[in-house]
Amino acid sequence: MDVHESWIDRQIREAQERGDFDNLPGAGKPIKGLDGRHDPDWWAKGLIERERLPMPLPPSLALRKEVEGLRSVLAKERSEDDARAIVEGLNRRILDVRRRIVSGPPIFVGTVEVEAAISQWRKDRAVKDEQRRADLEALRRSRRRRKS
């Protein structure tokens, strides 16, 4: 019996013989999405995983996380007015979430004391400015030594 091999079958056989299919990523692992369960949000979950996006949180948890990270956000601001606007905007969003029925766990998020946050921003800013001055002075000294 004469066996006829098509062009594509020959290409596949030769690639197998060369080892082109050995050690491919995902080898021996189940193919995602073939477990028999239908997930209507498969595309959103895939996008989040593929793009390494942070998981979306319910509004109350997202606000709590934002309150916890407020100091680092304010540290990037140069003017007190901008820092104050950020804190006041966060407080407006917190009050808005309290007024509405939102999805997710019922977590109380307290507003941020604006003056306390701005006072901390001023202290952090002073430390950062002092560090910049010290770095600049050290750079000037090292340049003077090289010139001499």
Helices (DSSP H) in the chain: which residue ranges? 7-18, 42-50, 59-68, 70-75, 80-99, 114-147
Q: Is the confidence at residue 1, as pLDDT, over 80? A: no
Reported confidence tier of residue 77, pLDDT bands at 50, 70, 90: very high
pTM to 2 decimals?
Answer: 0.60
Give per-residue burial for 69-88: e unless 16+ CB within 10 Å, then b: ebeeebeeeeeeeebbebbe
User: Could you give the 3-state DSSP secondary structure of residue 106?
Assistant: coil
Domain boundaries, the chain: 7-50, 59-147
Please write the tens of the pLDDT for every residue from 127-142. Answer: 999 999 999 999 988 8
